[in-house]
Amino acid sequence: MSSLCLSKKNIDCIWICNKINLVSYRLNPYLDIANNQYFNINLKIMAIKKGKFIVGTISNVSFRVYRGKQILQSTPGRGNMRQTKETKSAANIFGKASSLASEFRLSLQATFGTNYDGMMVSRLTGMMRPIIEQCYDKPNLKFNFRRNDFQSLAGFDFNLNSPLQNSMWIMPESSLADNVLTITIPEMKIKRDLKFPSDTNLCSILVSFAIYRLEEGLKSKHPEVKQILVRFKEETLARQQFEFSVPEGCLCIAGIGLSYYLQGEETAFAKNSPTFNPAAICCVYVNEGTYPETHTHLWSENYKAVFK
């Protein structure tokens, strides 16, 4: 790209400085971008030069960089953006899906910490959006959630570099009955069914659980976390079972993660990393019905994730 002229009027223009990479204002008929000259524009707007690229907005043109290439896009002028009912509804659903996905991540963070892959956040939001769209009753302008509407999230890996199933060959089982969520880890032969990295001898299996009242925008203030310690020298891990209370009118979510250590006589060194951190969503259920106000639970509020 050699030059770009946005206006022929003799008015304020932008000068992109070589030395300090900032934008200031001058008068001149044009700017040759390649040679850092001048050009005319009809708005005083900031832009920044980063190396051979420009980032920012000049008049009604937006400059950005994508995969090493300069990208130019037109931007709507102030007051020219018109949203239909459909676009407003789509934006509202995306916002709610993004907020709920964020809350799910926070509730299960004990299972994966900060060692997730770079696309995890967008992957989870991308899976959440069609679920929220499917559950939205457009004629009646309300959300209706059924028992298994979120079950497509089961098995979602928080780090694609190390899928949980590659380390835990016998996956947990889940069921929801009589207002109780049951998570069962079947009996395992340690050396066959639970894979240990070569420099580890201890595995901590963490199960995290939380409940939500979607219509009120409430979630568990303190997610429950259960732990199982497994040593490589052991032959068998007996069948493990955890039960969690899920009142009617609540969504419940559970996740599982594996944390590995090299344990010495007095200390244990964590071995998980951004490239190795097996953790996944175990299950998501909706216990349909009306929440009993007599039930006691500590709640945290998120007004962005209210589904009425």
Query: Per DSSP, which regions of the chain are E strands?
Result: 12-16, 23-27, 47-50, 53-58, 61-66, 69-74, 136-137, 142-143, 173-177, 180-185, 188-189, 202-213, 218-220, 224-231, 236-237, 240-245, 250-263, 268-270, 279-287, 299-301
Q: What is the pLDDT of residue 230?
A: 97
Q: What is the pLDDT of residue 90?
A: 59
pLDDT tens digits for range 235-266 = 999 999 999 999 999 999 999 999 999 999 88
Cβ neighbours of residue 247 under 8 Å, at least 6 residues apart? Answer: 179, 211, 287, 291, 292, 295, 297
Q: Is the pTM of this model over 0.75?
A: no
For β-strands 202-213 and 218-220, DSSP reports them as: antiparallel
Structure tokens at 103: 């809350």
pLDDT tens digits for range 169-179 = 999 999 999 99
Structure tokens at 1: 């790209």
For the chain, the structural domain boundaries read: 12-74, 86-305
| 1 has pLDDT over 90 | no
Q: What is the pLDDT of residue 46?
A: 67
- The residue type found at 291 is Y
pLDDT tens digits for range 139-198 = 888 999 999 999 999 999 999 999 999 999 999 999 999 999 999 999 999 999 999 999
